[in-house]
Every structure is written in C-alpha cells, then in structure tokens.
Amino acid sequence: MDRPIYNTLKNLSNKKIYPFHMPGHKRNKKFLNDFYDFIDLDFTEIDETDNMHKPETIIKQSKEILANTFSTKDSYFLVNGSSSGIMASIMACVSPNEQILVARNCHISVYNGIVLSGALPIYIEPTIKYNIPCGIDIKNVENAIKKSPNVKVFILTSPTYEGFVSDIENIAKLLHKNNIVLIVDEAHGAHFNFSSNFPKTAIQCGADIVIQSFHKTLPSFTQCGVLHLNSNIINKNKLEKCLSIIQTTSPSYMFMMSIEYATNFCKNNINLFNEYTLFLKEIRKELKNLKNLKLIDSDILENSNIIDFD
C-alpha cells in the first residue's frame, strides 16, 4: 500500500456505513450537487482570485454575503478550523497578564489561545447533572466579576458538545454592563441561523464574537469555519491581524468555496431544516423506548442552567 491514507478512506467510503460523525455533509452528494468540479478550481492568490488576508474583490464580496446571511457586522473565513478563530479572538481581546473568565468545559483551542495571549484564566465550572457538563449559571458569572473586577473577556461554549445551550442573552447583558467582551464558541451551532425550530444564535443574543464550525453541522468540508464580529467594542484591526497571524498564508480556495457553498445552500434550502427537525422529533419518540440507553430529554432542563437543546 503506497497510498495508505487514500486506500483506507476509499475502502471506508465504499462501505454502507452512515457517518454520524463530521463533516456535516455526510458525504451525501445531494448536498454537494454542483461542487464536484473542485479539482479544476484549486487556485492560489493571483491577480484575479483576491487575497483572504486583505480581501478587495471576490473574497470581500463572499464575506459580505456571509455577514448578511448571519446579520453580523463582519464575518471571516476560517480555513484552519474554528480553533484558529478562537485563538485569534482571545489574542485580540486580552493582553498578557490580563484576566479572562473561562468556562471550564471549553475546547482545547481556548486553552491554547490563553497560552498564546499570556492572559490569566479564571475558571467557572458548568452546572453538572447526570455527570454531564450542562449550562453556565449566570450567578456564578456575576460572583466571578465581583471577585475579579479587572476581567476583560468571558469565553464559553454554547451549544456544548452534548447540545446544551446556556443563557447567552442575559450573560451578554451582564457582561456588557461591566465592559466585558463575550466570546462564544458556537462551533456546533452554525445551523441555528437557518430555522426557528432551533435556539437563537449567540449572534442574536448579543455576543461580541461568535465562532462557528460549518463542517460540524452544515454541508462543508472538514476544517471550514467562520468568525462573526457582532460588536463595535472589538478592535477590528487587531482582530484581523491576529487572524492573519494564526491562519495559513496559503489559504485553501477549496475551503473558502466550501464555506461559500454551504452558506448559499442553507440560505436557499430552509425547508430542508424544517423537514429535518420533524424527522428528528419522530426519531426521538422512538428512541425513548430504548431499554438500555437513556435519551437526554426535557427533564435535564431543571436546575441545569440549560435553556434549550441544539
């Protein structure tokens, strides 16, 4: 086997196995129906293709469509995954030896970003129920601010890996009263924007920066993410500089096209999300009858600081 990666993946793709894992397109060609000419489109930065780090033409136009779709002040392509957006956000918003409030169930990229920024973390534990990390108690946030009034930023994950959504709206209001920036790792919630059956996005709830992994729940290639700027209190120039520092100088046009495609596909196929949620509700009814597995249901909402499911 002189091509072990290719051969293994090719063998897996030929098996009739449904992928419950990422990427969100599930290798289903109906979600990628006009995106299979990509080999001919694998370009780099030349005069006609613009530059992701200083977009002026086609990438700028695509970014504007992305921002308009999600109703943000600006949106950025993340070709190095959501991790790059999380790390750049932390670096842009907190300086060495400044304090950052951190939910203890964050992704490893948050801790990497803290290391790179030189910030001093102050941790908030999520509520635990059934041995599962749940939502963030706003009272704990308020107490942490009182104990550490010099905190500059709070970063948390919502929805969590388990699909739990915290009270972002009221947390944002509390933080902004205290001149604290709110960064939300919404990696698993990019789909929220496309159906009223889903929870409100962190963007709608007032977060200043929101990072989403398109590849987790939308029809996009693995490693594709976006960063949404949703506030005037962020130093935009510094954020863009940090994004350029963290991300590759040779961004994949395949990835940028994939983000663009997913945005366009979702915006023009809202009905699919509504059909999908009806399907999920039917599946959940059947799963409730399982004898050896317990379905996480509305009973977890009580005393968990979870306000919704993904």
Task: Give the model confidence (pLDDT) of 192-216 as tens digits.
Answer: 999 999 999 999 999 999 999 999 9
The answer as to whether 69 is a domain residue is yes
Question: What would the pLDDT profile of 110-158 be if each residue is shown by its tens digit?
Answer: 999 999 999 999 999 999 999 999 999 999 999 999 999 999 999 999 9
What band does 49 get if pLDDT is binned at 50, 70 and 90?
confident
Mean pLDDT of 32-61: 79
pLDDT at residue 26, as a whole number:
56
pLDDT at residue 268, as a whole number:
93
- Tell me the C-alpha distance between 188 and 304, whole Å: 19
Cα separations (Å) of 255 from 44, 81, 293? 12, 10, 38
What band does 34 get if pLDDT is binned at 50, 70 and 90?
low
Question: What would the pLDDT profile of 173-192 be if each residue is shown by its tens digit?
Answer: 999 999 999 999 999 999 99
The answer as to whether 5 is a domain residue is no
Mean pLDDT of 153-179: 97
- Per the structure, the complete domain to which residue 223 belongs is given by 38-267
Cα separations (Å) of 168 from 15, 159, 207, 214? 41, 10, 7, 20
The answer as to whether 293 is a domain residue is no
Percentage of residues in the chain with pLDDT exceeding 70?
90
Instruction: Assess contact for 181 and 209: CB atoms under 8 A.
Output: yes
pLDDT at residue 90, as a whole number:
98
The answer as to whether 7 is a domain residue is no
Paired tokens of 98: 């400044």
Number of structural domains (the chain) is: 1
> Residue 43 sits in a domain of what CATH number?
3.40.640.10
**Nearby residues of 20 by Cβ (< 8 Å), 6 or more positions away:** none
pLDDT at residue 2, as a whole number:
73
The answer as to whether 186 is a domain residue is yes
Higher-confidence residue: 35 or 75?
Answer: 75
The answer as to whether 10 is a domain residue is no
The answer to whether the pTM exceeds 0.85 is yes
The answer as to whether 178 is a domain residue is yes
